[in-house]
Amino acid sequence: MSTETENKKKDLIRGGQFLVKETKAEDVFTPEDFTEEQQMMKDSVKEFVDREIWPKKEEFEKKNYKLTEDLMRQAGEMGFLGVSVPEEYEGLGMGFVTTMLVVDYISGATGSFSTAFGAHTGIGTLPITLYGTEEQKKKYVPKLATGEWFGSYALTEPGAGSDANSGKTKAVLSEDGKYYSITGQKMWISNAGFCNLMIVFARIEDDKNITGFIVEYDPENGISLGEEEKKLGIHSSSTRQVFFNETKVPVENMLAGRGDGFKIAMNALNVGRIKLAGACLDAQRRTITEGVKYANERVQFKTPIAQFGAIKSKLAEMATSAYAGESACYRAAKDIESRIEIRKEEGGSHQEAELKGVEEFAIECSILKVAVSEDIQNCTDEGIQILGGMGFSADAPMESAWRDARIARIYEGTNEINRMLSVGMLIKKAMKGHVDLLGPATKVADELTGIPSFDTPDYSALFAEEKEMIAKLKKVFLMVAGSAVQKFGPQLEDHQQLLLASADILIEIYMAESAILRAEKNAKRFGEESQQEQIAMAKLYLYHAVDLVNQKAKEGIVSFAEGDEQRMMLMGLKRFTKYNNQPNVVKLRNLIADKVIEENKYPF
Ligand SMILES: Cc1cc2nc3c(=O)[nH]c(=O)nc-3n(C[C@H](O)[C@H](O)[C@H](O)COP(=O)(O)OP(=O)(O)OC[C@H]3O[C@@H](n4cnc5c(N)ncnc54)[C@H](O)[C@@H]3O)c2cc1C
């Protein structure tokens, strides 16, 4: 490794380290940092969606699976399906940030297309690009990258959902050792109705872990499909059961090694999770834009409803969570991209580099999946409310957006599973010595018993108090999670409600910090005056984060600490969640809402 690479590596943040290492505004990537090439890609994706997908929104509600398939083929012709695929396999070979921005802007019009796109480019294609042999990649990836073929991912079974490694589908080696015979039932398989290839997970003999296979769809080879599932939303996304009855799969179609399937499934899901978060962003922007357009036109009590404080509050909150989501998604995407680049500079193959780069930030991927999938739900819900009765009508765009949003909390690992994973992975990283939590946690414990400083802090610099507050929220996490680890050790995983509360604290810290760092970076380069609304959004997000952290930490503390220990921790919590200067929330909201109203769209 060259000294230059070594130095770069030292400066790079590790996954989960945001909690204990201060990140500077100039070190985060923001949507305002898009290169010219990325901006062009964004424009061309938006143009495609506005021309081909958004006008057909109603048609997507009519279970028109063919429409989704046709548009996926068009997306393939435009190169959008192969953005992250290396050029040697007929992809565009672009970086992780560009991959994120494509999934972001292509997904805003309807969850049906978004799901088909995500299932194909993510979990349908990635297992081959990440784990395939050269022959497998040459044979299948170009077809998938160009949209000649479509992919799906068959992991879930009727008896194996969150417990994905418990599947009963069997793979039996033939006597001549040439093929495996796969038998079993898969459920909820996106793109099943029009795919040419499936990534199928099955168990060989009594192996502890499942194995992945590339299976070409051929009804003559023992593969049959159930009817299309009747679903709450994503009506034109094909979701079916898939039955395998002694389906013959050549041995050379095994992915990675025997028993590696669970690892493949989990790593594909890491990428899937951050991309799913990205896929929820443009839907929020569009919901806000539709909401404010209506609110500016709709007159009640002789006043456009956008002028009412009640509506302003909604617009401001919706814009704020979209802003925080964007900030956090692109921050993490760039961190992943930088890690991948370093791995490549160290001599790693594209495959290894991408795998390890994403795996490093698996904690952030889970955080983002949970946060942004819940934001889109709230955003579409408030979108309906702004439109009143019209919002409830299927003729308005909010109704389907609200139904479509609901799935994001369930697939790619439910939000409960992802919450618990985020904290569990962080603790594991600390145990392995990859992130030093023990040192900072001990310092917090000392601080709790020490005498607090009574100095008057200098808050004159932009975000000085907010950044101090973020540092204090990190102490809350270390205090609560640190004590819980000490108390319960490995049995902590049995204390799910405590893990969930800790995850909420972790999520709020990452999201609030990302919004602040983006607004600070923009204020520094474009001038504070021009960034008033962005600054207000960062402050508003933090205000809510502090409240939520307070509530969740209290829940944790009273559940496991008693007597003096409890009193001491509650006092610490009070100190760590105390503003010296409370922000004027109504003023912040009005400032943000006025900008949204004036521009008649999500303007950031
Ligand atoms: C529209 C749609 C498309 C999908 N597409 C695909 C696809 O393309 N490929 C594929 O393989 N799968 C797909 N899935 C399946 C999806 O990934 C699963 O539904 C999901 O992982 C949850 O599994 P489950 O439905 O069996 O729920 P369960 O695992 O039974 O969970 C039910 C509830 O229990 C909770 N729970 C479960 N285990 C625990 C635990 N240990 N601790 C605490 N709480 C727990 C869950 O959080 C959830 O709230 C899709 C599902 C849908 C609905």
Look at residue 350 in the predicted model and tell me its pLDDT.
85
Burial class (CB in 10 A: 0-12, 13-18, 19+), 577: buried
**Ligand 1 pocket test, candidate residues 113, 188, 493, most atoms within 8 A of CB:** 188
Residue 160, ligand 1, Cβ within 6 A: no
- Residue of 563, 82, 67, 17 whose CA lies nearest to 331: 17
Residue 347 backbone zone (phi > 0: left; psi -120 to 50: alpha; other: beta): left
* Beta pairing class for 211-216 and 197-204: antiparallel
Cα of 540 from ligand 1 centre, angstroms: 33
pLDDT, tens only, 384-441: 999 999 999 999 999 999 999 999 999 999 999 999 999 999 999 998 988 998 899 9
Give the ligand 1 atom nearest the CA of 115: 3
Look at residue 57 in the predicted model and tell me its pLDDT.
95
Cα of 409 from ligand 1 centre, angstroms: 10
Cα of 492 from ligand 1 centre, angstroms: 23
pLDDT, tens only, 484-533: 999 998 899 999 999 999 999 999 999 999 999 999 999 999 999 999 99
Cα of 102 from ligand 1 centre, angstroms: 26
Residues 6+ apart with CB under 8 A from 139: none
Look at residue 237 in the predicted model and tell me its pLDDT.
98
User: What is the C-alpha separation between 385 and 364, in angstroms, rounded?
Assistant: 31
Give the ligand 1 atom nearest the CA of 186: 11
Query: To the nearest 5 percent, what fractions of the chain are helix, strand and coil?
Result: 65, 10, 25
* Positions marked catalytic: 412
Chain centroid, CA 154 distance in Å? 21
Structural tokens at position 423: 């904290």
Residue nearest to atom 6 of ligand 1 (CA): 189
Structural tokens at position 243: 């039955």
User: What is the C-alpha separation between 251 and 341, in angstroms, rounded?
Assistant: 33
Look at residue 11 in the predicted model and tell me its pLDDT.
78
Give the CA angle between residues 411, 412, 416 to the nearest 5°: 75
Residue 3: is its pLDDT beyond 80?
no
Structural tokens at position 456: 């008057």
Confidence at 449, pLDDT banded by 50, 70, 90: confident
Residues 6+ apart with CB under 8 A from 94: 41, 83, 84
User: What is the C-alpha separation between 91 and 330, in angstroms, rounded?
Assistant: 22
Which of 27-31, 175-179, 348-352, 529-533 has the least mean pLDDT?
Answer: 348-352
Give the ligand 1 atom nearest the CA of 192: 8
Give the ligand 1 atom nearest the CA of 155: 11
Asked if residue 593 lies in contact with residue 538, where contact means CB atoms within 8 angstroms, the answer is no
Look at residue 562 in the predicted model and tell me its pLDDT.
96
Residue 82: is its pLDDT beyond 70?
yes
Chain centroid, CA 401 distance in Å? 18
Task: Please state the φ and ψ torsions of residue 188, each to the nearest 5 degrees.
Answer: 60, 40
Residue nearest to atom 31 of ligand 1 (CA): 162
Residue 119, ligand 1, Cβ within 6 A: yes
pLDDT, tens only, 110-133: 999 999 999 999 999 999 999 999
Asked if residue 239 lies in contact with residue 189, where contact means CB atoms within 8 angstroms, the answer is yes
Sole residue written with tokens 């951050």: 274
Structural tokens at position 449: 């018993």
Q: At what angle do helices 532-560 and 563-576 cross, to 10 degrees?
A: 180
User: What is the C-alpha separation between 277 and 275, in angstroms, rounded?
Assistant: 5
Residue 35: is its pLDDT beyond 70?
yes
Asked if residue 24 lies in contact with residue 369, where contact means CB atoms within 8 angstroms, the answer is no
Residue 416, ligand 1, Cβ within 6 A: yes
Confidence at 183, pLDDT banded by 50, 70, 90: very high
Look at residue 542 in the predicted model and tell me its pLDDT.
98
User: Other CB atoms closer than 10 Å to residue 29's CB: what's the count?
Assistant: 20
- Give the pLDDT mean for 89-108: 97
Residue nearest to atom 51 of ligand 1 (CA): 188
Look at residue 9 in the predicted model and tell me its pLDDT.
74
pLDDT, tens only, 340-380: 999 999 888 888 898 899 999 999 999 999 999 999 999 99
Give the ligand 1 atom nearest the CA of 163: 29
Asked if residue 357 lies in contact with residue 340, where contact means CB atoms within 8 angstroms, the answer is yes
Which of 94-108, 280-294, 478-492 has the least mean pLDDT?
Answer: 478-492
User: Other CB atoms closer than 10 Å to residue 194's CB: what's the count?
Assistant: 18
Residue 10: is its pLDDT beyond 80?
no
User: What is the C-alpha separation between 139 and 215, in angstroms, rounded?
Assistant: 13
Residue 408, ligand 1, Cβ within 6 A: no
User: What is the C-alpha separation between 424 and 369, in angstroms, rounded?
Assistant: 16
Residue nearest to atom 17 of ligand 1 (CA): 411
pLDDT, tens only, 534-547: 999 999 999 999 99
- Give the pLDDT mean for 291-316: 98
pLDDT, tens only, 140-151: 999 999 999 999
**Ligand 1 pocket test, candidate residues 156, 185, 406, 418, most atoms within 8 A of CB:** 156
Mean pLDDT of the chain: 96
Residue 411, ligand 1, Cβ within 6 A: yes
Cα of 496 from ligand 1 centre, angstroms: 17
Model confidence, pTM: 0.97
Confidence at 455, pLDDT banded by 50, 70, 90: confident
User: What is the C-alpha separation between 97 and 603, in angstroms, rounded?
Assistant: 21
Residue 1: is its pLDDT beyond 70?
no
Residue 454: is its pLDDT beyond 90?
no
Residue 2 backbone zone (phi > 0: left; psi -120 to 50: alpha; other: beta): beta
DSSP structure class, residue 123: I
**Ligand 1 pocket test, candidate residues 262, 264, 411, most atoms within 8 A of CB:** 411
Chain centroid, CA 552 distance in Å? 22
Give the ligand 1 atom nearest the CA of 231: 1
Residue 188, ligand 1, Cβ within 6 A: yes
CA quadruple 568, 571, 572, 577: dihedral, nearest 10: 160
Share of the chain above pLDDT 90, in %: 92
Residue 217, ligand 1, Cβ within 6 A: no
Residue 271, ligand 1, Cβ within 6 A: no
User: What is the C-alpha separation between 19 and 427, in angstroms, rounded?
Assistant: 12
